[in-house]
Structure 1
Amino acid sequence: MGVPAWVWFVVAFVALVAGALFLMRDRARLTSRNRERRRWAALRGWQFAESDPVLPGQWNGGAIAYYGDGVARDVVAGSTFTADGRRKVYVFDLEAGGRVNTVISAVQCKRVHPVVVELWVPSTPFQREHMPELLGPVGQRYAFVSDIAAARALITPDLVDATEDIGQDVAVAWIENGWVLAASAPNSSPSRLERLLRGLGEIADVVDPFDAEIDPAGEVEVRGGHEE
């Protein structure tokens, strides 16, 4: 005997209601994160933007390569102090494939290093189609680099110590195109992101000390930066 039509109607109705509830929950969560990020930016005197479709395209490594460049959502742009002085920063949700996969935090260096260095925690499924070359363990992380010789000169004991301080909840930290970046969980709070920016600032101070000579051609212009 076949299933009565009213049973299929009930099943379809329940599925529709469940889908609507999930959508409302996700939308409420996104709206809450938007307000939280906006308040944080205002408190710090930084700039806020709902979205930026171009920003993630500045980078090709780390979490950008893993998830795809996508669109930057709830973007905070500003500057912060490190031990070596003031540096530009970005924080944004990376939306790819219609969902927010991670939060990207970025701190600018004064020069562009001729190598991409990705530092992944072992528990992360970091494999992708075109991985950089495996250099080996760096502290509690694995280093994948675009140039082994150049990376060896960059990875010092001070860099290892600074990287250890950013926390195992950060899946990957990487150096690329004049920036030090990291990917954290989508629900990362402003307080956690503040700590992460400080950690990235320490890494930037190690690989990019202000008292070193700077090649003007290596400087990077920042869109949307705002002085405190």
Structure 2
Amino acid sequence: MWFVIAVVAFIAGGGFLLRDRALLTSRNRERRRWAGLRGWQFAETDPLLPKKWSGGAVAYYGDGVARDVVAGSTFTADGRRKVFVFDLEAGGRVNTVIAAVQTRKVHPVVVELWVPSTPFQREHMPELLGPVGQRYAFVSDISGARALITPDLVDATEEIGRDIAVAWIEDGWVLAAAPPNSSPSRLERLLRGIGEIADVVDPFDAEAEPAGGARPEQAGAERVEAEESRGEQVKAAPEPVADAKDA
């Protein structure tokens, strides 16, 4: 009797293991194909990447290991930004998918925006600031966070979707945690959504020039001016003498 139960349990456990392995393999192929279509880089694992952050979903689940990592860059309204997408595996299971968009400016305050339905309590929870739109804000510094939380930030956060348990701002990144089974199309929309948040907290400064030269728009204008100037010079130049081959 016990032997039969043990055999059934073994078969059932093996079935679950094979199912999980099949799901992981399918997700790996899907993520790899998505990276290829976008011209992004793909890595099966990166144990150090989650350690770049300590807030939001990384604090909730533990930094763990990054699986099926996609790295690249994408355009937002305020320019091109670096992005990461990866499965966060902690405790031997994939708990969430992290999407991250880099900002040029590094903010000293961490702002976590959680949906109320998430059991977001943890051992070292940031300070509760209060409701922000349909989410609750937990921050590392209340006075510093108030400057970041504007009506534009609230509007941008509302657009990312209620299936995203938490979006947060940490150092030079805007991040969000999606369900483990999120498809590439959903992750594309999420990247656009947190890209809008990045534009809000790190807007393009028309007065500032990046180190090492003029802004892209300025450089483009200067190229146009130079081409127009060369055109005028060509028009004003005397007719050239015929080449020997034309003679």
| 2: CA distance, partners of 1:214 / 1:34 | 41
Residues 93 and 128 (structure 1), Cα distance of their counterparts in 2 relative to 1, 3 Å cut = same
Query: Which of 177, 183, 186 in structure 1 is aligned with 2:180?
Result: 186
For 2:27, the equivalent position in structure 1 comes to 33
| 2: CA distance, partners of 1:209 / 1:85 | 9
| 2: CA distance, partners of 1:101 / 1:215 | 38
1:94-105 matched pairs, under 5 angstroms: 94-105=88-99
For 1:21, the equivalent position in structure 2 comes to 15
How high is the TM-score relative to the length of structure 1?
0.90
| 2: CA distance, partners of 1:56 / 1:182 | 13
Larger Rg: 2
For 1:153, the equivalent position in structure 2 comes to 147
| 1: CA distance, partners of 2:210 / 2:41 | 28
| 2: CA distance, partners of 1:144 / 1:215 | 32
Q: Secondary structure at the match of 2:163?
A: coil
How high is the TM-score relative to the length of structure 2?
0.84
1:36-75 matched pairs, under 5 angstroms: 36-75=30-69
Q: Secondary structure at the match of 2:121?
A: coil
Q: Is the 8 A contact 1:55 1:72 kept in 2?
A: yes
The Cα RMSD (Å) is: 1.2
Which structure has more helix as a fraction of its residues? 2
1:166-186 residue CA offsets vs partner (Å, 9 max, x unmatched): 000000000001000000000
Unaligned runs of 5+ in 2: 212-247
Q: Secondary structure at the match of 2:108?
A: coil
Is residue 207 of structure 1 aligned with residue 191 of structure 2? no
| 2: CA distance, partners of 1:196 / 1:147 | 26
Query: Which of 120, 123, 131 in structure 2 is aligned with 1:137?
Result: 131
Unaligned runs of 5+ in 1: 1-6, 217-228
* C-alpha deviation, 1:214, in angstroms: 8.5
Q: Which residue identity lines up with residue 98 of structure 2 in the other structure?
A: I
Q: Which residue identity lines up with residue 74 of structure 1 in the other structure?
A: D
Q: Is the 8 A contact 1:110 1:214 kept in 2?
A: no
Query: How many pairs align?
Result: 210
For 2:217, the equivalent position in structure 1 comes to none
For 2:100, the equivalent position in structure 1 comes to 106
